[in-house]
């Protein structure tokens, strides 16, 4: 697989273009489906769907956790310091602001973010830790792409009391096709309560944009599904079905098709148990090969970022018996999040600077990868 190219350095990119032009003038042309033209920072947007070479869009991120597309750019959360960075398609990377009240430690800090427009206002939603809990807040997102900024004075706590611990803090949030906010939580080490409907850990929650339990929830509370160990990814297929990735313990990581009110068995079951009291996962991996984090679904193919496995997994959700397939194994280190890029392909976050990886020059990075088929 080809190496990445940093697309934020104008002199380097222009030099590469001149070299390519010189070579083209004296070398017979031949078909080449494995390379793509070098692009300068001035004309950089998400690479076109026809491009096949992975690209580095931004470098120097500090323990990034979540990508939220905004227009043709993106906001990126950094777990340790509560900062939200804006990446712009011209190769820029700037601070959009800091989420107030973030207390980081272990797997807790500033985790998932999502953007929603409502009645003419644009809001950034964020899942973050305080000293006592994990919670979801929102604040106004002002300005235009390239100059986005958070307004901390507008911060609202919309949902609090999610258990916090050194590990198993969940943290992924996403708006579903129904307009509701879905929140993945971890069991926070209290594994025996993951199947307890009154405990917020080890759950997927479904909330209104204002933070109330969403209408139609199976138990009349915020809880949508239960029996999870540590939910890290949420995405929907073309039929509106929710899928979630989940860290296992020592035996199996999971990709689950989520049913309202479904009990996924943790801690009594890990992986496929064929038990009458739990829903089995659709796909499983050994933790050393996965530790699955963020998910994107494109044309009913799921792309799952793997931390410990240091690869991107693809799963064809339309297949009768989906078989996971790995791509980019070992090429970029730990992968934390993946989303569908507005111009085609995927945006992927590496996660080598969080204390568990081996940072490479320029880490951490926002990558563009072509959408390999499952």
Residue 40 token pair: 């300068």
Average pLDDT, the chain: 88
What percent of the chain stands above pLDDT 90?
Answer: 81
Residue 128 has pLDDT above 70, yes or no: yes
Structure tokens at 295: 């998910």
The pLDDT-based confidence of 41 (bands split at 50, 70, 90) is very low
Closest C-alpha to 57, from 358, 332, 357, 374: 332
* Cα distances (Å, whole numbers) of residue 351 to 7, 68, 250: 19, 16, 21
Specify the pLDDT at position 38: 29
Residue in this structure with the two tokens 């107030």, named with its chain if needed:
100
- Residues 79, 84, 88, 89, Cα dihedral to 10°: 30
Q: Is the pTM of this model over 0.85?
A: yes
What are the tens digits of pLDDT across the range 173-195?
Answer: 999 999 999 999 999 999 999 99
3-state secondary structure of 91: coil
Q: What does the alpha-carbon distance between residue 98 and residue 106 come to, in Å, rounded to a whole number?
A: 19
Q: How many CB atoms lie within 10 A of CB 37?
A: 11
Determine the number of helices (DSSP H) and then strands (DSSP E) in the chain. Answer: 1, 24
Cα–Cα distance, 52 to 326 (Å, whole number): 17
Residue 37 above 80 pLDDT? no
CA-based nearest residue to 295, from 244, 329, 335:
244
Any idea how long the chain is? Answer: 374
What tokens were used for 169?
A: 């803090």
Within 10 A of 331 (CB to CB), how many other CB atoms are there?
18
Question: What is the pLDDT averaged over residues 334-363?
Answer: 95
**Residue 356 pLDDT exceeds 60:** yes
CA distances from 165 to 82, 133, 136, 157 (A): 17, 8, 16, 20
- Considering Cα of 255, then 336, then 132, then 215, what sign does the dihedral take? negative
Among 240, 175, 170, CA closest to 209: 175
Q: Is 372 exposed, middle or buried (0-12, 13-18, 19+ CB in 10 A)?
A: middle
pLDDT for 34 beyond 80: no
**From CA 84, how far away is CA 21, in angstroms rounded?**
39
Q: Please, which residues have CB within 8 angstroms of residue 328's CB and are 6 or more apart in sequence?
A: 1, 54, 311, 312, 369
Q: What are 249-304's pLDDT values in tens digits?
A: 989 999 999 999 999 999 999 999 999 999 999 999 999 999 999 999 999 999 99
Task: Return the pLDDT at 322.
Answer: 87
Q: Is the pLDDT of residue 43 over 80?
A: no
Q: Tell me the domains of the chain and their CATH numbers.
A: 10-369 (2.120.10.30)
- Segment 63-74, tens digit of pLDDT: 999 999 999 999
Residues 6+ apart with CB under 8 A from 138: 123, 124, 125, 126, 155, 156, 158, 209
**What confidence category does residue 237 fall into, taking pLDDT thresholds of 50, 70 and 90?**
very high
Q: Given the structure tokens 């590496």, which residue do they identify?
A: 350
Neighbours of 144 (CB within 10 A): 8
Phi, psi of 14 (to 5 degrees): -65, -40
Q: Of 267, 262, 216, 218, which Cα lies nearest the Cα of 243?
A: 262
* DSSP conformation class of 105: B
pLDDT tier, 120 (very low <50, low <70, confident <90, very high otherwise): confident
Give me the pLDDT at residue 200, please: 98
């Amino acid at each position: 697989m080809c190496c990445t190219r940093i697309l934020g350095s104008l002199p380097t990119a222009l030099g590469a273009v001149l070299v390519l032009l010189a070579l083209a003038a004296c070398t017979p042309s031949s078909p080449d489906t494995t390379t793509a033209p070098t692009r300068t920072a001035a004309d950089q947007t998400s690479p076109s769907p026809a491009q096949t070479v992975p690209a580095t869009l931004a470098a120097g991120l500090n323990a990034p956790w979540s990508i939220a597309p905004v227009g043709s750019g993106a906001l990126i959360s950094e777990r340790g310091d509560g900062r939200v960075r804006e990446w712009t398609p011209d190769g820029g990377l700037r601070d959009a602001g800091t989420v107030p009240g973030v207390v980081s430690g272990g797997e807790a800090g500033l985790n998932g973010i999502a953007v929603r427009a409502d009645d003419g206002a644009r809001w950034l939603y964020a899942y973050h830790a305080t000293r006592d809990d994990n919670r979801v807040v929102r604040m106004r997102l002002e300005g235009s792409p390239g100059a986005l900024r958070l307004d901390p004075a507008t911060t609202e706590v919309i949902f609090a009391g999610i258990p916090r611990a050194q590990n198993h803090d969940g943290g992924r949030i996403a708006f579903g096709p129904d307009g509701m906010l879905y929140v993945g939580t971890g069991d926070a080490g209290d594994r025996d309560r993951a199947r307890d409907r009154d405990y917020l850990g080890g759950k997927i929650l479904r909330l209104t944009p204002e933070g109330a339990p969403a209408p139609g929830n199976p138990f009349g509370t915020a809880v949508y599904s239960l029996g999870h160990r540590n939910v890290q990814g949420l995405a929907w297929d073309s039929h509106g079905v929710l899928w979630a990735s989940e860290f296992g313990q020592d035996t199996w990581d999971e990709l689950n098709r989520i049913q309202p009110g479904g009990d996924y068995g943790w801690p009594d079951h890990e992986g496929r148990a064929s038990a009458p009291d739990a829903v089995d996962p659709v796909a499983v991996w050994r933790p050393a090969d996965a530790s699955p984090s963020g998910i994107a679904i494109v044309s009913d193919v799921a792309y799952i970022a793997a931390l410990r496995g240091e690869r991107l997994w693809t799963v064809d959700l339309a297949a009768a018996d989906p078989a996971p397939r790995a791509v980019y194994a070992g090429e970029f280190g730990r992968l934390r999040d993946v989303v569908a890029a507005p111009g085609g392909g995927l945006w992927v976050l590496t996660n080598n600077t969080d204390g568990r990886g081996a940072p490479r020059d320029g880490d951490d990075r926002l990558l563009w990868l072509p959408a390999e088929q499952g």
